[in-house]
């Protein structure tokens, strides 16, 4: 497992202080903490300045350690020198959720983690340096999109694995809530052995890579007592990420009756759902007429044109979310807007499909996922070197005296009309 290939360093750092929704935390709460793991390859303990740093993101309710089989496979496959892989449990899940259990409220926002990751980068600024590639899965993909829009140059590239980024709900009209299973499943067992037996019998984990299942059993369960279950026998266990926090992460709840008229300027409606559509369509994730909504995948989809880093999409062939039409939507949209990469037409966006995989593709097909990442990373590192060499040799001509004074060329152009055109060149 990963300890054979990586030195694993654990960190706990503060989260960003102000959360998106007021009830994300309790009043007078203690500062939230972020539980982070840093995977340092044992074959590269003295990395070079251009070695790759990866920042990864987990799916809802999945401990960050479940992705270790991918890191193991990737390290064995790739010719890219990896400096470190960083991954944090979102503030209300996994080890972070344990640290914060007395402070957490009942109203999470996916994009709080985007800001926490930016704080992570700044906190470890001496260690997290470009080139940086993001590897995200499911609900963490729009978090990484959001971070890229905030900070376009931070990541050189992204791999979005089975992203939850779309306006349309994957649930059929009249169908079951995507949060029903999480809300209804057992979350307390008399012993660790009983919990393990439940996991091995459940269809949810049936097709996972056995190594990922083992990691879930190790890190997805915790002993009682907890804030939720303070009184218990010494042998009882529960979920590390409470089922309430996992369920609230799927959907935002609003059962407050609507006004009898559609008032676009109704302050109550704005307070209750500032990030949902004013006029959502039937079947959309952000229709304010629904009791439960999910605005974050819609916002992530809205941001896709402005993504500047190169993007690899990895889809599960049998995904109920990324059906072929939704895959085409993402590929056609990504990077095509102002400040974006240029998208598919510019060779900056492409997609791959993992045969036989579902929405949980990286947990089911660790080796296949790592193979796709390995070859893609090698091309991305070549592109990074080209960009770096260009930046190093390019002179703008606008400054003198070690970039402290305006140049003669600058002054010449300032005296010309504001719409003076650039000269043409034959090549870079």
**Where exactly are the structural domains of the chain?**
2-175+203-209+295-388
pLDDT of residue 233 exceeding 90 = no
pLDDT of residue 428 exceeding 80 = no
83: its two tokens: 């400096």
Per-residue model confidence as pLDDT tens digits over 66-107: 999 999 999 999 999 999 999 999 999 999 999 999 999 999
Per-residue model confidence as pLDDT tens digits over 346-367: 999 999 999 999 999 999 999 9
Q: What is the pLDDT confidence band of residue 261, given thresholds at 50, 70 and 90?
A: low
CB of 337 within 8 A of CB of 308? no
Report the chain's terminal Cα–Cα distance, integer Å.
46
Quickly tell me which residue has 């040799």 as its tokens. Answer: 393
User: ω into residue 378 within 30 of 0, thus cis?
Assistant: no
CB of 114 within 8 A of CB of 148? no
pTM for the model: 0.95
Architecture of domain 2-175+203-209+295-388: 3-Layer(aba) Sandwich (3.40)
DSSP reduced 3-state for 250: helix
What one-character-per-residue DSSP string does 289-307 give? TSSEE-HHHHHHHHHGGG-
CB of 177 within 8 A of CB of 253? no
**Phi/psi at 40 (5° precision):** -105, 115
DSSP reduced 3-state for 144: helix
- Predicted local confidence at residue 299, as pLDDT: 96
Q: What is the mean pLDDT of residues 171-183?
A: 88
């Amino acid at each position: 497992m990963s300890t054979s290939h990586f030195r694993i360093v654990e960190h706990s750092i503060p989260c960003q202080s102000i959360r998106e929704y007021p009830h994300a935390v309790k009043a007078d709460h203690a500062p939230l903490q972020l539980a982070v793991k840093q995977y340092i390859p044992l074959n590269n303990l003295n990395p070079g300045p251009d070695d790759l740093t990866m920042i990864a993101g987990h799916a809802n309710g999945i401990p960050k350690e479940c992705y270790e089989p991918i890191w193991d496979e990737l390290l064995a496959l790739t010719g890219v020198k990896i400096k470190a892989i960083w991954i944090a449990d979102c503030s209300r899940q996994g080890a972070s959720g344990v640290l914060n259990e007395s402070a957490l409220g009942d109203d999470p926002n996916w994009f709080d983690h985007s800001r926490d990751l930016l704080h992570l980068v700044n906190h470890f600024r001496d260690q997290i340096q470009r080139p940086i590639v993001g590897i995200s899965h499911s609900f963490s993909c729009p978090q990484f999109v959001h971070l890229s829009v905030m900070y376009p140059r931070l990541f050189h590239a992204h791999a979005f694995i089975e992203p939850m980024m779309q306006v349309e709900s994957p649930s059929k009209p009249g169908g079951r809530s995507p949060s029903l299973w999480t809300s209804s499943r057992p979350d307390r067992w008399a012993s660790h052995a009983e919990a393990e037996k439940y996991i091995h019998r459940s269809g949810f984990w049936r097709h996972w890579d056995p190594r990922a299942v083992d990691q879930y059993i190790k890190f997805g369960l915790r002993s009682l007592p907890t804030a939720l279950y303070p009184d218990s026998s010494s042998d009882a266990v529960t979920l590390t990420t409470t089922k309430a926090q996992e369920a609230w992460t799927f959907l935002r709840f609003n059962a407050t009756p609507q006004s009898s008229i559609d008032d676009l300027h109704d302050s109550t409606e704005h307070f209750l759902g500032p990030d949902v559509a004013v006029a959502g369509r039937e079947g959309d994730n952000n229709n304010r007429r629904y009791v439960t909504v999910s605005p974050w995948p819609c916002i992530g989809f809205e941001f896709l044109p402005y993504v500047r880093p190169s993007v690899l999409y990895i889809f599960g062939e049998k995904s109920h979310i990324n059906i072929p039409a939704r895959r085409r939507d993402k590929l056609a949209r990504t990077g095509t807007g102002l400040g974006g990469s240029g998208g598919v037409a510019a060779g900056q966006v492409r997609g791959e499909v993992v045969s036989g995989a579902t929405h949980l593709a990286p947990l089911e097909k660790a080796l296949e996922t790592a193979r796709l990442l390995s070859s893609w990373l090698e091309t991305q590192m070549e592109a990074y070197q080209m960009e770096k060499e260009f930046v190093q040799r390019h002179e703008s001509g606008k400054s003198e005296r070690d970039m402290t004074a305006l140049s003669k060329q600058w002054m010449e152009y300032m005296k010309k009309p504001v719409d003076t055109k650039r000269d043409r060149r034959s090549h870079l």
